[in-house]
Amino acid sequence: MITPNSPYDKFVSGDKSALSAQQIRGMDKVAELGCTSCHSGAAFNGAGVFQKFPVNTDGYLEAKFHFSKDKGVAEVSKKADDEHFWKVPTLRNIALTAPYFHNGSVATLDEAVKVMAKVQLNKELSKDETADIVAFLNGLTGEFPKQTLPTLPATTGKTVN
Ligand code: HEC
């Protein structure tokens, strides 16, 4: 993994203090709701499978975010059965990768979580449930490798120092 040691990784390897009580509630909720039926596995990406999105079309959300405008896999395969199938994205580092969805129409993680519960699972989340899930998702942010910028060698006679 490129970004290891997220609070979640520390938690599953035995450090029970790595996630807060709220994050643990969120983690349990994600499993209980069935988010992990698609976002499964170590990277929460269903090992790269394609799934339908939106499963349930919601008039209000459609008018606001136009999720069904693009046809997903069908645009490439030209098969009707592939319409609105998208690659299940990883949830790792998700707090850092706004905006969300294939068309980048959703600006915040909070809204993305509510959208997913509604259109994929037909569930309305309460404010607290949403906040718990968002807290858990923040616990999936790992440590990034240190980037060192290359330094150009000094050009003799040209650099001042
Ligand atoms: C039926 C399968 C399925 C279920 C269930 C599901 N998702 Fe998703 N999820 C997807 C797919 C497919 C996408 C990509 C949609 C797109 O690109 O427009 C996605 C996208 C997302 C995104 C945006 C990712 C990004 O990088 O833009 C988040 C956040 C997310 N899901 C969280 C959840 C949560 C939380 C739940 C449970 C409440 C959930 N998902 C349930 C299939 C699912």
Query: What pLDDT score was predicted for residue 153?
Result: 81
* Residue of 59, 139, 68 lying closest to 101 (CA atoms): 68
Residue with tokens 């509604």: 118
The answer to whether the predicted template modeling score (pTM) of the entire model surpasses 0.75 is yes
In this structure, of 1-15, 80-94, 142-156, the range with the lowest mean pLDDT score is 142-156
Residues 34-62 as b or e (16 or more Cβ within 10 Å = b): ebeebbeeebbbbeeeebbbbeeeeeebe
Q: Verify whether ligand 1 is closer than 6 Å to residue 131 (CB atom).
A: no
Q: What is the mean pLDDT of residues 29-33?
A: 98
pLDDT of 79-91, one tens digit each?
Answer: 999 999 999 999 9
Amino acid identity, residue 82? D
* Residue of 1, 2, 38, 39 lying closest to 136 (CA atoms): 39
Q: Is the pLDDT of residue 157 over 80?
A: no
Q: Which of 23, 35, 52, 114 to mutate to test the pocket of ligand 1 (most atoms within 8 A of CB)?
A: 35
pLDDT of 34-60, one tens digit each?
Answer: 999 999 999 999 998 999 999 998 999
Domain formed by 18-138, architecture: Orthogonal Bundle (1.10)
Query: What pLDDT score was predicted for residue 161?
Result: 56
Distance (Å, whole) CA 25 – CA 22: 5
Q: Is the pLDDT of residue 147 over 90?
A: no
Residue 20 Cα, ligand 1 centroid: separation in angstroms? 23
